[in-house]
Amino acid sequence: MDRKKITIVGAGNIGATLALLLARRETADITLIDINEGVAKGKALDIMEASPILGFNAHVVGTGNYEDTANSDVVVITAGFPRKPGMSRDDLLFKNYEVVKSVSEKIREYSPEAFVIVVTNPLDAMTYTALKITGFPKERVMGMAGVLDSARFAYFISEKTGVSVENINAFVIGGHGDDMVPLRKFTTVAGLPVSEFLSKEELEEVIDRTRFAGGEIVQLLKTGSAFYAPAASILEMVLSILWNKRKVLSASVYLDGEIGEYYGASGLCVGVPIVLGKDGVEEIIKLDLTEQEWKEWKRSVESVRSLIEKLPL
């Protein structure tokens, strides 16, 4: 059986961690590409030297040349400037726009059939950039944010309740920024409402921590941002596509038509619940939000819109 091919653009902490996670699952052969070719090659070689011990036969190669990425099934864009302490995700807008634009042009040229998963911040604006520059169908371009935000929310609930993370289903939608929308109503512990386990105050505390979770890690690390949980989140999306799992996940996708009107977010990429399978974004789910959630959602959408309007697209 021919293995699938995944290209990871950017061999930094997220890219390299993802390459290892994907290789261990023997999901695909992996091409790690970086503007610094030595870093991509070095990390790829290091991962392959772990393969006899960890027991995987997937191949990881490093390169600085886009020709080596040709005909990828999935391309993950992690390249870009990271957040530094005191920086908002939006401060990165124009710097990372240039990066994502040039990467998207290369993807269009070398892997015209690929699914594209964007991780670069500010996430929703960069997903929109990749969609517009590649010209790919909207089902094939998505941003990884909701999976990560939901995982953080779930972990904080587990920590607060003392209940296993495996029992917790948490859901976060909206823009990947400080006004993301953790959904109280759709967050459950072993299928029971989270309100059975946490008081209103405790839940609000957890929600607040979720909104600023990325910043919390940036502050602690001082010289970078989160990478283990982001890499795990991308892995979940890649497996859902390549193994046709049709998981319901939160991801930043392009909204238009009836669904765009329903969410009041036509012409934007923003985080919503989707069904993710072999055809990419197979369905966008309409949620019946509470009044408070709709209010938070609208605020989140406006933040995303204001960023996208600044882009020269």
Locate 27 and state its tokens.
Answer: 């999901």
The C-alpha angle 307, 310, 312, rounded to 5 degrees, equals 130
Write out the H or E segment, with its range, that includes residue 238.
helix 228-242
Out of 89, 140, 176, 184, the active site residue is 176
Place of tokens 């600023």: 212
The three-state secondary structure class of 264 is: coil
Q: Is 248 exposed, middle or buried (0-12, 13-18, 19+ CB in 10 A)?
A: middle
The candidate with the shortest Cα–Cα distance to 32, out of 49, 51, 14, 53, is 14
176 noted as active-site residue: yes
Give the closest residue to 250 by CA, choosing from 176, 173, 197. Answer: 173
Catalytic residues: 176
